[in-house]
Amino acid sequence: MSQKDTLLHLFAGGCGGTVGAIVTCPLEVIKTRLQSSGLALRPVFQVQLGTLSGTGVIRPSQVAPGMFQVLRSILEKEGPRSLFRGLGPNLVGVAPSRAIYFAAYSKSREKFNAIFVPNSGPVHMCSAGFAAFVTNSLMNPVWMVKTRMQLERRVRGVKQMNALQCAKNVYQTEGIRGFYRGLTASYAGISETMICFLIYETLKKNLADCKLESASGRSEKVASDFLGLMLAAAFAKGCASCIAYPHEVIRTRLREEGSKYKYFFQTARLVFIEEGYSAFYRGLSAQLIRQIPNTAIVLSTYELIVHLLGSQTK
By mean pLDDT, which of 6-10, 53-57, 244-248 is the weakest?
A: 53-57
Look at residue 57 and give its three-state secondary structure: strand
Amino acid 33: pLDDT: 93
Residue 155 lies in a domain: yes
| Distance between CA atoms of residues 133 and 145, nearest Å | 19
Domain CATH for 197: 1.50.40.10
Residue 94 has pLDDT above 80, yes or no: no
pLDDT for residue 218: 52
- Which amino acid, residue 204? K
In angstroms, the first-to-last Cα distance of the chain is 14
Q: Is 191 a member of any domain? A: yes
More confident residue, 185 or 259: 185
Is 61 a residue whose pLDDT tops 70? no
Interior angle at CA 147, CA 142 and CA 150, nearest 5: 130
- Average pLDDT of 152-174? 86
52 DSSP assignment: T
Higher pLDDT, 15 or 139: 139
Residue 55 within any structural domain of the chain: no
Structural domains in the chain (count)? 1
For residue 86, tell me if it sits in a domain: yes
What's the confidence (pLDDT) of residue 213?
Answer: 65
What pLDDT was estimated at residue 268?
95
Vertex 62: Cα angle to 56 and 67 (nearest 5): 135
- Give the residue numbers spanning the domain of 34: 3-40+60-313
What's the pLDDT band for 313 if we cut at 50, 70, 90? low
Q: Which residue has the higher pLDDT, 52 or 193?
A: 193
Quick one: pLDDT at residue 23?
Answer: 80
Q: Average pLDDT in the 186-207 region?
A: 89
| 120-5-93 Cα angle (round to 5) | 90
Task: Report if residue 48 sits inside a domain.
Answer: no
What mean pLDDT is predicted for residues 208-218?
65
Mean per-residue pLDDT of the chain: 83
What pTM does this model have? 0.78
Determine the Cα–Cα distance for residues 302 and 264; give it in Å rounded to an integer. 33
Report if residue 203 sits inside a domain. Answer: yes
pLDDT band per the 50, 70, 90 thresholds, residue 204? confident
The verdict on residue 7 lying in a domain is yes
The DSSP code sequence of 168-196 is HHHHHHH-GGGGGTTHHHHHHTHHHHHHH
Q: Between residues 294 and 284, which one has the greater pLDDT? A: 284
Name beta bridge partners: 42: 63
Least confident of 8-12, 27-31, 79-83: 8-12
State yes or no: pLDDT of 231 exceeds 90.
no
Query: Using one digit for the tens of pLDDT, what is the confidence trace for 95-135?
Result: 788 778 888 988 899 999 999 999 888 888 899 899 999 99
Q: Is the pLDDT of residue 59 over 80?
A: no
User: Averaged over 63-84, what is the pLDDT?
Assistant: 88
Average pLDDT over residues 241-258: 93
User: Does a structural domain hold residue 299?
Assistant: yes
The DSSP letter of residue 45 is E
Q: What pLDDT is recorded for position 223?
A: 62
When pLDDT is averaged across residues 137-156 and rounded to a whole number, the result is 89
